[in-house]
Structure 1
Amino acid sequence: MKINTDSFWYKDAVFYELNLRAFADGNGDGIGDFRGLADRLDYLQELGVTCIWLLPMYPSPLRDDGYDISDYFHVHPDFGTLEDFKRFVDLAHERDLRVIADLVLNHTSDQHPWFQAARASKDSPYRDFYVWSDTGQEYADARIIFLDTEASNWTYDPVAGQYFWHRFYSHQPDLNWDNPRVREEMFHVADYWLDMGIDGFRADAVPYLIEREGTNCENLPETHAILQDLRRHIDDRYPGRILLAEANQWPEDVLSYFGDPSAGRAEFHMGFHFPVMPRLYMALKKGDTTSIYDILRRTPPIPDDCQWCVFVRNHDELTLEMVTEEERQYMWEQYAPEPRMRLNLGIRRRLAPLLDNDRRKIELLNSILFTLPGSPVIYYGDEIGMGDNIWLDDRNGVRTPMQWTDGPNAGFSGAPPESLYVSVIDDPVYGYRRVNIAAQRADPDSLLNFMRRLIALRQEHPCFGRGTFELVDTGNRAVLAYRREYKGERVLALHNLTAAAQQVAVTDGSYIDLLTGESYPSARLALTPYQYLWLA
């Protein structure tokens, strides 16, 4: 194993979120798998990312792309075997690539043996693994998350003769974390995969573990107590491994998910900053950075040992939960004019289509992503500007096969095209003949090579992963400006979010742009449309 032993490695990390099914097919059955991923690790090493985040890889009916788990202790047969998984982890570590996996704590599939046993009899030892009701009227203050598909958080099960609780789909019953046996079993799940060498977990849907009457059943003290126990459990047995929280909440509410490490009440090493993401798109469309400044000012300091995780797109819809209703309507109007582009309270589109395939805007948002406080996440395929297929159901439109070459099946699989789990993108703008890794590798001016340079530059300057953050008011609302500082290095990041030239005044003398090497001796800078500068 050839891995940096710095326990704060996650502060400097560049994460690569990878849909195993979509990445590379190693056995020719039309579905991505661990063999295919192992064969493509050199590409990820070349790209410069440092940690692979795997979406669910477990046995599942696949009604929610694997987040409906029916067995926590094996690999889905589509993806290979446990031996394939272990080999992949070893090969990743040999290349200085860490690996984290999704850990779904909140719920299981209704096909999980626990639930099947639970519903069969009230006397089953697994009955209390889930949350049941005779009326389905409890916890009325809890919101319904999947408004497009679910009318209630309760579903009646005729076999059980009771209602079961679910915060997500009705085929995903929530676990009863008030039951100590559930806690014991799920901690055992974590141990099982950490013993195989993975470097941590992205913990799914953590705000919803506990239910209490008269509350919204989110962010409850009992939930935090469970998560503190999980963190202690992992720290004691697996030092250097991390927990990343998926808590789609306001930043002041996410703060509690970091816990208080200095008082022995640590929870997560990292947490996603969801609210900043839609405001990047909103500010870009309006040419006004006010909403970004507001949310960043609203973001509280976090413990020194902790880190935000930031992203511009991922495997889910671009969530609009953390905006006002007026802002949500604006975002739908501007970025999702077709109903098929919308899902729940969000937008199911990839980065490049959202930004009209405008290279200037794509580079600009990535520059912001790589300079904001936190560790950035790249969603597979966004480094080459892949498109989406809005005609696929649910979120599957942003989960199409990786486009490696302009050959058959985009180089993703040797299977007959009709055997692929879903067709490759083949339209005139984003199709694999035009957008693929092989072509972009060979083009020094490609988006892929831009991303490689951006990643490498960030890695050369620890201020972006570990430094302080200070917003700068330039007096121009079209320009986003902030300083990063660490151990004597200071970088001023400037971003023009408009299609017009902008003037900004800066102090502290002359600068050199880290991206281009160009000097800026003047105290007043003229930024070209969508220009970004990393001034040191």
Structure 2
Amino acid sequence: MNDQQYLWWQTGIIYQIYPRSFQDSNGDGVGDLKGIIKRLDYLQWLGITAVWLSPIYPSPMADFGYDISDYEGIHTLFGTMEDFDELLKEVHNRGMKLILDLVPNHTSNQHPWFLESRSSRNNPKRDWYIWRDAKEDGTPPNNWLSVFGGSAWEWDEKTGQYYYHAFLKEQPDLNWRNPEVQEAMFNVMRFWLDKGVDGFRVDVMWHMIKDARLRDEPVNVDYQPHMATYEQLLHVYSTDQPEVHDIVRKMRGVLDEYKERMMIGEVYLPVHRLIGYYGVNNTGAHLPFNFQLLSLPWDARQIAAAIDEYEGALPANSWPNWVLGNHDQPRITSRVGLQQARVAAMLLLTLRGTPTVYYGDEIAMQDVAIPFEEVQDPQGLNMPDKNLSRDPARTPMQWDSSEHAGFTTGKPWLRLHRSYRRRNVTIEKEDRYSMLCLYKRLIELRQKEPALMTGAYIPVYADQHALAYIRQDNGASKYLMVLNLSNAPCYFTPKNFPFTGRVVLATTPELEGLTFTNTLALGGAEAVIMKIE
């Protein structure tokens, strides 16, 4: 590929906004669209090129918007369709793109489609969902489990059958084997694409088709008591079925009716399964989310091996991507600590592929201890003994040192971190040693250097402390990254790799401008970008 062939979603930086928690404009304690509009200048200043919004559609909020009752509207909590149109216009005015969450696997049980489906066994929409008779003894059709705990089957007294829900009982799964369901959802996509939305992040893409025979799932012999009850089984029949790739290909076909639109797939699978979602000859998702950095131990050798496996598995002409955090996982700063989170930022923004930044990670926001009586997340409420609430990573954005961190004039829907008065955007903007300034400088460097934005990835070295790799473009530009993922000092003295490099950016700014030849000593949790001379 030459530079002219790269598209916006390959060269850009995606930023995930959890709308409830970004900025409240009306004092009700919940973020909204007008609030996001207010903060777009900040995102532009940071260097963000694409904004991804978690769901903003009408919803009873059983799962905070992932239970949709109208795919073509805006929840009043977030504003109006006019507010959305204004947001889209303002995003585009700043040269940025807007990506919406699409939740095609399931609807709310309040969606008109499900209300019809549930009304009688012979309703025309009955087959839009997955209904089955009980076994002879009255038990559910099979042993499938809900991600949020308990059986994945809910008995419907009125029509005398069970319906399937992979998540809450308020989130019945659509039957994607039904062509009418497919066409209805493709038309939902067209509704937003016609408005000018630039793409979709597709929720639980690997769940969308289930085994036609609804076979029982095998027991997970590696299950441990601390794990979610869902992990008691291996989900070989309820997820990642071969037919799902045909659905993804059709969704891609809808996007291809428009110019330069893109699709991200949420797919929690091992790399060898994940890459199938790119589709044959890249006719599937443009970016099946690569979540390895969310789950791998923070170990240089394991991460180096995972990068190599991923790079080696990618289909020809497909594009990689990396993610450090999202609304379902503990924040990176809480997972690896404040100093290593700086190293993680450098890793995210110098690996080959599109990076996705989760709101607040750029100011080192941490998971917040939410007292149990304040827990909102159904995953946490349904399994209280497992400590699985996702609320700690969804707390309000910390903008300044004022009351409620400048997020709201009311009472925030979730509490803020105790440290927000000293860890916020306003303070960190003025501190060259802050996480925010590190993110801004990393993004600036990445976006102006073709080697870092679209260049090749060349592994160099990994040991129990450090990870090193090169990014190089077709020209003479070559950068060497050396990252110490341990908290002990380390030495980078690679055999068979003589180098002379000047440090252009470091997690410890005092290293910048120094030149090193053939050897480099790094302190614990230090990382550098060197321009190779």
Q: TM-score, normalised by structure 2?
A: 0.85
Which residue in 2 is equivalent to 1:339? none
Alignment partner for residue 533 of structure 1, among 525, 528, 532? 528
Q: How far 1:370 sits from its partner (Å)? A: 1.1
Match of 2:461 among 470, 473, 476: 473
Residue deviations 1:343-388 (CA, integer Å, cap 9, x gap) = xxxxxx32323334x3x21211111111223211111111112233
What residue in structure 2 maps to residue 302 of structure 1?
A: 314
- The answer to whether the Cα contact below 8 Å between 2:59 and 2:69 also exists between their aligned partners in 1 is yes
Q: 1:272 is matched with which residue?
A: 289
Q: How many angstroms apart in 2 are the aligned matches of 1:170 and 1:277? A: 28
Residues 270 and 309 of structure 1 are in contact (CA less than 8 Å); yes or no, is this contact kept in structure 2? yes
Judge conservation of contact 2:57–2:75 (CA < 8 Å) in 1: yes
List aligned pairs for 1:165-314, cutoff 5 A. 165-212=164-211, 213=213, 214=215, 216-235=237-256, 237-261=257-281, 266-279=283-296, 282-283=297-298, 288-299=299-310, 300-303=312-315, 305-314=317-326
> How far 1:6 moved relative to its partner?
7.0
The residue type equivalent to 1:28 in the other structure is G
1:514 counterpart (504, 508, 528) = 504
- Which one of 462, 470, 481 corresponds to residue 483 of structure 1? 470
Percent identity, aligned pairs only, is 35
**Residues 440 and 289 (structure 1 numbering): CA distance in 2 closer, same or farther, change over 3 Å?**
closer
Please state how far the C-alpha of 1:453 moved relative to its aligned partner: 0.8
Q: Is the 8 A contact 2:293 2:324 kept in 1?
A: no
Q: TM-score, normalised by structure 1?
A: 0.85
What letter corresponds to residue 503 of structure 2 in structure 1? D
- When structure 1 is superposed on structure 2, of 458-467 and 122-131 the one drifting more is 458-467
Deviations 1:138-196 (A, max 9, x none): 88586x462xx422222212233111112222221110011111001000110111111
SS in 1 for 2:65: coil
Q: Give the counterpart letter for 2:261 in structure 1.
A: R
What is the one-letter code of the residue matched to 1:464? L
- AA matched with 2:314: I
* Alignment-derived partner of residue 366 in structure 1: 345
Distance 1:173 1:442, change over 3 A: same
Give the Cα–Cα distance (whole angstroms) in 1 for the partners of residues 112 and 56 of structure 2. 18
| Kept in 1: contact 2:16–2:357 (CA 8 A) | yes
The one of 440, 443, 449 equivalent to 1:461 is: 449
1:44 CA drift (Å)? 0.7
* Cα 1:291–1:58 shift into 2, 3 Å: same
**CA offsets 1:282-330 (integer angstroms, 9 cap, x no match):** 23xxxx423213322332342454323312211002xxxxxxxxxxxxx
d(CA) in 2 for partners of 1:443, 1:482: 29
Contact 1:491 1:535 in 2 (8 A): yes
Residues 107 and 173 in structure 2, CA contact (< 8 A), matched pair in contact too: yes
Question: How far is 1:518 from its partner?
Answer: 2.7
Deviations, residues 384-438 of structure 1 (Å, cap 9, x unaligned): 12233332343122212212121122211223x3xx323333x2xx2x3222211
Distance 2:249 2:168 in 1: 27
Q: Is the 8 A contact 1:510 1:519 kept in 2?
A: no
Q: Over aligned residue pairs, what C-alpha RMSD do you find?
A: 2.2
Instruction: Look up the match of 1:322.
Output: none
| Counterpart Cα distance in 1 of 2:409 and 2:176 | 44
1: CA distance, partners of 2:55 / 2:96 = 19
Per-residue deviation at 1:220? 2.1
In structure 2, the residue corresponding to 1:515 is in which secondary structure?
strand
- Correspondence 1:422 to 2:443: no
Quote the Cα distance in structure 2 between the aligned partners of 1:211 and 1:133: 13
Shift of 1:527: 1.8
> Unaligned regions of 5+ residues in structure 2, if any?
216-235, 377-388, 507-511
The one-letter amino acid paired with 1:167 is: A
Is the contact made by 2:33 and 2:83 (CA closer than 8 Å) also made in structure 1? Answer: yes
Equivalence for 2:423: 435
Q: Secondary structure at the match of 2:174?
A: coil
Alignment of 1:65-76 (within 5 A): 65-76=64-75
Counterparts of 1:350-361 in structure 2 under 5 Å? 350-356=331-337, 358=338, 360-361=339-340
Cα distance in 1 between the residues matched to 2:293 and 2:432: 32
Q: Is the 8 A contact 2:291 2:322 kept in 1?
A: yes
Match of 1:331 in 2: none
Alpha-carbon distance between aligned partners in 1 of 2:253 and 2:82, rounded to the nearest angstrom: 29
**Shift in Å, 1:52:** 0.5
Q: Which residue of 1 aligns with 2:24?
A: 25
Paired residues, number: 479
